[in-house]
Amino acid sequence: MKDSSIFELSNGLQCAFQQNRSTVAHIAVAIKAGSRDELAHQQGLAHFIEHTLFKGTSKRKAYHILSRLDDVGGELNAYTTKEETIIHASFLKGDVRRALDLVADVVANSIFPIKELEKEKDVIKDEIYSYKDSPSERIFDDFEDLVFQGDPLGRNILGTPESVDGLNRDDILEFIGRTYSVDRIKVAVTGAFGLERTKRMVEEYFGPWKPAKTTWQNTFKGAFKPEKIVEPVAQFQDHYMVGWRIPGIFDEKRHALVLLNNVLGGPAMNSRLGLNIREKHGIAYNIESYMNLYTDIGMLGVYLGCDSTQTKRATALVAKEIERFQNKPLGTLQLSKAKNQFLGQMALGEENGLNSAIGAARSLLHFGKVNTFQHVIGKIRDITSEEIMAVANEFLTPDKSYELLYKKP
C-alpha cells in the first residue's frame, strides 16, 4: 500500500490519508459491522442497512443523496461483507468538500424512513431471487455456510426473503447502536491534497459525529464437522467446491497460505488449476481457488464447473494438485516466480485509487495501521518453500476438507 498519514479527529475517529497526483480523489468509510454481527432474527440486516443508508438523512431526501455526486460525474456506493460495511465515493478532486459532506451525512445522519424501508425490501428480495437463479454464484455462499455451520459467519449476507420481510426500523437502530462505535469506524481519503488541509476538511464534516459507545464483540463458535454434501440442482453442468478452514487475518501463517492459493488457482491464467485441468485436460472452463480471511478464522476453497460426465475426473485432478503442495516443495525458480507474480498483481491493484482508499480504511480498522507496499514485499519475500509445504500439510488434508456438489439430476 502507499504511504499513509494517520490522524485522529476530535471525536476519536481514526483517519488515514494517502496523497497522490490524480485529478480523481476517493473517500472510504470502513465500519466493523457485518452479517456475523446480526442477532438470530436479524439475518440480512447489515446488507439492508447498507441499502437504506441512502434513503434519506435529516437534511437530504433520497433523490438529493443519489444526485449530489452524480451531478458532477462522481460516484457514491457501498457494500457489505461478513464483518464490514464499506461506504465509498469517487469524485474530481475539486469536489472534495461536496463528497465529504455527503458521505458524512449518509453515515452519521440517515433516518431510515419507514416507507422507504418497505420499498427496499422488495428490491432486496429480487436480488435474492436473482442470486438463487445462478448456481455458480449461489454455491459460494452455500459452501461457506457448510464450512462455518453453526455460526452467523456462515449465513448468506443477503438473508432470506422471510428474514428480510421481518426487519424493521427498530432492528436498524439497535444494530447501529451496538456496532457503530468510534473504535469500529475508520475513514480514509486519497487525493491530491495536502495533509493539513485534509485534516481540517475531514474534521469539519466527520468531527461533529458522535458514534455510540459499545463493547460488542463476536467470536467464532461453529463446530468442526467436515463433510461432503451432494444436492440435485437443475442446470446444464455440475458445480463443485472443496475447501478447508484456515487461520484468520492475524495469524502469520496466512502469508504462506496466500502465496499457496495464488499458485494453486489465483487470478493468473497460468495457475496450476488453470494449466493442469483447463488447459491440459480441456475440462472446467471456470476453475479457481480463493481465500476468505476473517478476524478469528478463514477458509481456502476451490470452485469448478464442468460437464457432469467430467466431474469425477475433475475433482480427482484438484485433489492431485493439493497433494503436490504437500509432497513436493516449490523449487527456487518456482518460488521466485510465484512471489514476483503475486507482488505484481498487488502493485497493479494499488494503481486503482478507490482500492487503495478502501484498503487503507480496512487495514486501519483491523490492524490499527496501514502497511506500506515495501512492508508487504518484505513479508512475501520471506516466505519459504518449507512454510508453504507445512501449511498445506497442516490445513489442507482430506480429513479436514468440506465438499459441496450441485449435481445435475
With cell 455456510, the residue in question is 145
Q: Which residues pair with 79 in a beta bridge?
A: 86
User: Does domain 228-407 bear CATH number 3.30.830.10?
Assistant: yes
- Reported as a single tens digit per residue, the pLDDT across 155-173 is 999 999 999 999 999 999 9
Across the beta sheet with 5-8, the strand order is 5-8, 14-19, 185-191, 24-31, 85-92, 75-80
Question: What confidence tier does 64 reach under pLDDT thresholds 50, 70, 90?
Answer: very high
Q: For 196-253, write each residue's pLDDT tens digit.
A: 999 999 999 999 999 988 889 888 999 999 999 999 987 899 999 999 999 999 999 9
The tens digit of pLDDT for each residue in 2-56 reads: 678 999 999 999 999 999 999 999 999 999 999 999 999 999 999 999 999 999 9
pTM of this prediction? 0.94
Give yes or no on whether 5-206 and 228-407 have one common fold: yes
DSSP-derived letter for residue 367 is H
Q: What is the pLDDT of residues 291-331, one digit of tens each?
A: 999 999 999 999 999 999 999 999 999 999 999 999 999 99
pLDDT-based confidence at residue 75 (cuts at 50, 70, 90): very high
| Domain 5-206 -> CATH class | alpha beta
Cite the beta strand spans of 154-254 per DSSP E.
Answer: 185-191, 228-232, 238-246
CB atoms within 10 A of CB 121: 20
Q: Which are the contacts of 89, defined by CB distance < 8 A and separation ≥ 6? A: 26, 27, 69, 74, 75, 76, 77, 99, 102, 103
pLDDT per residue as tens digits for the range 342-380: 999 998 988 889 999 999 999 999 999 998 888 889 999
Provide the 3-class DSSP secondary structure of residue 35: helix
Residue boundaries of the structural domains of the chain: 5-206, 228-407
DSSP-based three-state secondary structure for 405: strand
Whether the per-residue pLDDT at 1 is higher than 60: the answer is no
Confidence (pLDDT) at 62: 94
Percent of the chain with pLDDT over 70: 100
The grid cell for 17 is 490519508
Please state, as a whole number, how many other Cβ atoms lie within 10 Å of the Cβ of residue 108.
18
pLDDT at 208: 96
Q: What is the pLDDT of residue 191?
A: 96
Work out the angle at residue 28's Cα, subtended by the Cα atoms of residues 27 and 31, and round it to the nearest 5 degrees. Answer: 150
SS3 108: helix
Residue 349: predicted pLDDT:
85
Residue with cell 476453475: 287
- 3-state DSSP assignment of residue 34: coil
Helix, strand, coil % over all residues of the chain, rounded to 5: 50, 20, 30
